């Protein structure tokens, strides 16, 4: 029985309607323009002149009361990096005015409040509350009717319930069009927060804790917006030093420096303990240190004669060996070395 062969997975081809792989975010001037596009007061809307199928004016629509709370909500999303569900479920007791931090303990997802976050780090983290955001939240707490500890920070001004997230996204994108900036998602305000911190040298580990990412690989997308510490200087130095063999003033001669480095390395190798040990091994003392001598000092290697190192040759048909090699000099105070006559002669019968 043979199994069905599996087709190799291929990357999906991008289409025109797909989301761009590049990060979408707002710059600080663009964010200020979007905030100016949202009214900071209740707007009374005029009724329509006619209504469909009926004579006369249309009834007056309800006033727009979401402007003031949306301004603070969008500012908080850009300055804290919290998710939309975390902002809609934020309560006043989670705003620490003394430590000037915002703690994430509740989310509003699918029309329900939940204490479960996307990861363990998400539901037990806190983010710093900027001075501007603290002032805006303090001003909003005095304007809203729902400012007790159990009330929502960004509650609907009339009902006290969470704001519809679709209305938040629609009003935010409408403000982008009014401001004349590129229209992005509400979630892209998290990218605005992370890219601004990365551009100002904040460590990626800290950004990961602020955003609540369980995996550090998710935060690596912001590393391309971090300033390079020494990379630019190293690349500049690599291309401004000069060509090998030429001297360009401040740039050194790369070819001569390379040769000098190799010569210095060879000189160090000659003086290394390994080299000295090999010299002492082939010294006339037979590798033993002579009393009163310094084993670390360099030892001159004697020139070996042909008789010292030549293997005894066998005379044809007789088995006689050649003249024996002279014995090596024996140092004073050491036992007699083995004479060369003890070397066994070559016996053809043993081969």
- Out of 209, 225, 241, pick the residue that ends a domain: 225
- How far is 252 from 241, CA to CA, in rounded Å? 7
Same domain, 184 and 298: no
22, part of any domain = no
Split into its structural domains, the chain has a count of 2
Catalytic residue among 45, 182, 187, 278: 187
Active-site pick, 118, 156, 165, 276 = 118
Determine the 3-state secondary structure of 220 from DSSP. Answer: helix
3-state secondary structure of 68: helix
Same domain, 94 and 213: yes
Same domain, 285 and 144: no
* pLDDT tens-digit series, residues 246-285: 544 444 444 455 455 556 655 555 555 544 554 554 455 5
State whether 179 and 296 are in the same domain: no
Catalytic-labelled residue, pool 71, 91, 191, 222: 222
The answer to whether position 179 is within a domain reads yes
**One domain, residues 292 and 205:** no
Q: Which two tokens stand for residue 16?
A: 């025109």
pLDDT of residue 337: 47
Q: Does 196 qualify as catalytic in the annotation?
A: no
189 plus 299 within the same structural domain: no
Q: Is residue 100 part of a domain?
A: yes
Give the residue from 225, 242, 262 where a domain finishes: 225
Residues 136, 278 within the same domain: no
Which tens digits make up the pLDDT trace of 60-69?
A: 788 889 999 9
Return the CATH number at 111: 1.10.443.10
Query: Is there a single domain that holds both residue 79 and residue 213?
Result: yes
Per the annotation, the verdict on 190 as an active-site residue is yes
pLDDT in tens, 308-326: 555 555 444 444 555 555 5
Residue 156 bears catalytic tag: no
Catalytic residue flag (residue 334): no
Residue 86 lies in a domain: yes
Question: Taking residues 145-172, what's their average pLDDT?
Answer: 95
Instruction: Check whether residue 282 and residue 174 sit in a common domain.
Output: no
Buried b (16+ CB within 10 A) or exposed e, 33-44: bbbebbeeeeee
Regarding whether 278 and 195 lie in a shared domain, the answer is no
User: Catalytic residue among 91, 190, 191, 196, which?
Assistant: 190
161 within some domain? yes
Of 37-46, 146-155, 186-195, the range with the lowest mean pLDDT is 37-46
For tokens 């603070």, name the residue. Answer: 72
Tell me, yes or no, whether 132 and 40 share the same domain: yes
Please check whether residues 203 and 294 belong to one and the same domain. Answer: no
Q: Active-site residue 276, yes or no?
A: no
Residue 126 lies in a domain: yes
184 neighbors 172 (Cβ within 8 angstroms):
no
- 187 assigned to active site: yes
**Enclosing domain of residue 121:** 28-45+59-225
Please report the sign of the dihedral spanned by the C-alpha atoms of residue 63, residue 64, residue 66, residue 71: negative
Specify the pLDDT at position 46.
78
What is the pTM (predicted TM-score) of this model? 0.62
In a domain, 190, yes or no: yes
Report yes or no on 132 lying in a domain. yes
Coil, strand or helix at 75: helix
Q: Which of the following is catalytic: 83, 91, 123, 196?
A: 83
Contact indicator for 168, 175 with CB cutoff of 8 Å: no
Tokens linked to 28: 């600080």
């Amino acid at each position: 029985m043979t199994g069905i062969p599996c087709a190799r997975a291929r990357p999906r081809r991008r289409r025109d309607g797909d989301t761009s792989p590049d990060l979408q975010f707002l710059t600080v001037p663009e964010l200020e323009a979007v905030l100016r596009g949202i009214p900071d007061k209740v707007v009374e809307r005029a009724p329509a002149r006619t209504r469909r199928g009926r004579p006369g004016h249309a009834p007056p629509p309800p006033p727009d009361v979401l402007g003031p709370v949306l301004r603070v909500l969008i500012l908080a999303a850009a300055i804290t990096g919290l998710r939309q569900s975390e902002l809609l479920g934020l309560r006043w007791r989670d705003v620490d005015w003394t430590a000037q931090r915002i703690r994430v303990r509740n989310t509003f997802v699918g029309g329900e409040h939940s204490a479960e976050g996307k990861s363990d780090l998400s539901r037990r983290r806190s983010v710093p509350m900027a001075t501007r955001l603290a002032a805006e939240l303090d001003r909003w707490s005095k304007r809203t009717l729902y400012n007790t500890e159990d009330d929502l920070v960004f509650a609907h001004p009339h009902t006290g319930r969470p704001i519809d997230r679709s209305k938040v996204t629609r009003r935010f994108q409408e403000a982008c069009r009014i401001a004349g900036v590129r229209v992005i998602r509400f979630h892209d305000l998290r990218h605005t927060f992370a890219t601004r911190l990365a551009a100002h040298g904040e460590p990626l580990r800290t950004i990961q804790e602020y955003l609540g990412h369980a995996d550090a690989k998710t935060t690596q997308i912001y590393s391309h917006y971090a300033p390079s510490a020494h990379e630019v200087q190293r690349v500049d130095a690599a291309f401004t030093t000069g060509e090998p063999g030429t001297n360009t003033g401040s740039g050194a001669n790369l070819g001569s420096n390379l040769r000098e480095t190799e010569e210095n390395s060879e000189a160090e190798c000659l003086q290394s303990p390994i080299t000295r040990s090999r010299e002492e091994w082939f010294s006339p003392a037979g590798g033993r240190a002579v009393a009163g001598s310094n084993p670390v000092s360099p030892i001159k290697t004697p020139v070996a004669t042909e008789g010292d190192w030549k293997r005894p040759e066998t005379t044809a048909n007789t088995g006689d060996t050649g003249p024996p090699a002279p014995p090596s000099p024996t140092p004073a105070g050491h036992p007699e070395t083995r004479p060369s006559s003890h070397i066994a002669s070559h016996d053809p019968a043993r081969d």
